[in-house]
Structure 1
Amino acid sequence: MTPKVDTLQYFSIILFILFNSRIYVSAGNNANYTVCKNNPFSCGNITNVGYPFWGGNRPQFCGRRGFGLTCQNGQPDVPVINRMGTTNGAESFNAIVVSINTTSNTMSLVQNLFSQNTSISCENLIRNETKITLSQPFKFSPLVANMNLFFDCNNTSTTNYGGRLKFVTCDEANTTINLPYYVDKPENAGNISKLCPIKRVFPVLKSELDELKKGNVNLSRVLNKGFEVKYTVDFNTCTTCQNSGGVCGSSADNKMRFTCYCQDGTHTAHCPIPGAQISVKCLNIIFCELCVDLPFQMMILVFLLQG
């Protein structure tokens, strides 16, 4: 006859396995995992964008604060990023998203003041004070430079600055008033405000600014091309989460805290090791089809082993 193993021994063995082999109990499908996995953001020329972006059918917990996108319906649809950075150190601003490169982690943006392939008047440039600064997790890419535009300049005095002020025209019929000038180098802009009382600063692509200086493009073209922004989030942690079979997101109660959504539930960095998973199914006991808690399951397992 095979000797019976004491119940306490079975119980001790099971506890040892649970705490030393990282075995966990599957809680079934995680709704957040399913939603984030199956709902990337798409709008216009932006398709299938995932973490850290969210918007539309993609809830905020699937992305990070500051990366919210909306889709402005039109012909074609236009994706817009909401409340990014600051304007004059005050309110955040919205910008049209031209493209997103998830390899270089960059976005090409155009200010809402401008839209691609449209003319821009001097009046609109003056009325909209749009000096933009960015804060983490955003910063201008090395491809961007500030273009300084000056208005209401004293045309008879600009020659005193050795040609550092350059004349450009706005796209309107009458450009004899409020003619803008731009400065080749930021350090040359200091005393020009005495000649030109109105100053506006716009981030633009360096390549487009160079073409403007050569006279190959107009002001509208430069502003319509927008600028490039680089963004930084917890990419290493997200990669670890994805490699473990999870989906990257943020905590529902803290949109800045990373969360890894897995099929079994929510974890801080990655999903549990698949090879060490035990899936405990619901037990049909008399009239109830409910999953029982782990201690009771262990008691049942001990009882069966003894029998």
Structure 2
Amino acid sequence: MAPLLLHLLLPALLLLLAVADALPPSCSEVVTCAGLVVQYPFRLDSSASRCGYPGLDLVCERNATLILPVKSHRYRVFSINYTAHTVVVSDAAVVDEYAVVGCPRLRVNLTIDYASSWLQLTQSDSNVTFFYNCKKNISRSSAVELTGCRQDGKRSYALPDGWITGAEAYEYECEEVVVAPVFDVHKKAIAGAPGPPPGNGSFGFRELLQGGFELNYDTHSQLCDGCERSGGWCGYRHNQTNGGMNFTCFCDGGPATARCESRREKRTEAAERRHATGSRGLITGDPRSEGVKPKDQL
């Protein structure tokens, strides 16, 4: 390559590299899936420079369904409120199972580690306990049999009014007990519906589960909170030494360890560097530190 051409292209190349390192595409990228907007702090794709909160990786299935995986279980995303920092989801298995067997069958409890998770249940949520394939009838007055779930003489029930002890679950000889979060307002609406409470057996609870529940997401750490307050994006970069991920605050001017510098801070830092350089010049006798000569000596 001709030296002149290289000289002309080098500044542009350095600028592109600086911009690429300053702000990964995932920070400012806005995409859609199933009619929903996906943007920071959520993300669809993983990359070497990860911008967003851990645990908020979404999967777009055939551009028709947006999935939030939680500990390898699929939850379908219905809405994301970026102002309130909430996301409404439901257990994706409920729809799949009901289409096959006509029973609102849940397979796992939603387990959230409140000490380390970026996701939390909200005050809008309530719980319903499901008992599957019980050998004995549940005697509680609030227990509702799921009529579409009978199997080999065993019955399944839903208990809308809260938790049950392990001893009680053992007493009814149920194969599985699952606690599911739901919208409290939906649970109250179904409980007040006409017919056998609540609603129509399996159908009522299927609708309740499909209505989903609400999760709140937040920065979860002082580092991330400080980064966002300074105008940055929280992210995680691969640690080449141990293979893990290190926190990074992605800023317009480049990645930082904690927070982005304001323009005023940058000007102050630049002035301090100039002052330090000038001081070194005075000590060493650098003629550049002697100031501007009088006009008649130029």
For Structure 1 versus Structure 2, the TM-score category normalised by the shorter chain is 0.5 to 0.7
Displacement of 1:44 in angstroms is 1.9
Aligned residue among 120, 132, 146 for 1:168: 146
Higher helix share: 2
1:180 maps to 2:161 = no
Aligned residue among 108, 125, 135 for 2:88: 108
Displacement of 1:177 in angstroms is 5.0
Aligned residue among 72, 77, 86 for 1:97: 77
Aligned residue among 194, 211, 233 for 2:171: 194
2:264 aligned counterpart, secondary structure: helix
Segments of structure 2 that go 5 or more residues without pairing to the other structure are 1-16, 193-197, 268-276, 293-297
Aligned residues: 247
Q: Which residue of 1 aligns with 2:66?
A: 79
C-alpha distance in structure 2 between counterparts of 1:151 and 1:205, whole Å: 22
C-alpha distance in structure 2 between counterparts of 1:59 and 1:44, whole Å: 26
Aligned residue among 243, 250, 258 for 1:261: 250
Quick one: which amino acid aligns to residue 186 of structure 1? W
Provide the identity percentage: 18
Q: Sort the Cα spacing of 1:240 and 1:143 in 2 relative to 1 into closer, same or farther, 3 A.
A: same
Aligned residue among 143, 146, 163 for 2:127: 146
Q: Which residue of 2 aligns with 1:220?
A: 206
Q: Which residue of 2 aligns with 1:271?
A: 260
Segments of structure 1 that go 5 or more residues without pairing to the other structure are 1-26, 86-91, 279-294
Q: Which residue of 1 aligns with 2:3?
A: none
Displacement of 1:141 in angstroms is 2.0
C-alpha distance in structure 2 between counterparts of 1:121 and 1:73, whole Å: 24
Greater relative contact order (CA < 8 Å, ≥ 6 in sequence): 1
C-alpha distance in structure 2 between counterparts of 1:194 and 1:32, whole Å: 60
C-alpha distance in structure 2 between counterparts of 1:267 and 1:234, whole Å: 19
Displacement of 1:62 in angstroms is 0.8
Q: Sort the Cα spacing of 1:248 and 1:301 in 2 relative to 1 into closer, same or farther, 3 A.
A: farther
2:133–2:176 Cα contact (<8 Å) kept: no
Displacement of 1:95 in angstroms is 1.6
1:141–1:228 Cα contact (<8 Å) kept: yes
C-alpha distance in structure 2 between counterparts of 1:119 and 1:270, whole Å: 49
Q: Which residue of 1 aligns with 2:108?
A: 130
1:205 maps to 2:191 = no
Displacement of 1:96 in angstroms is 1.5
TM-score by length of 2: 0.65
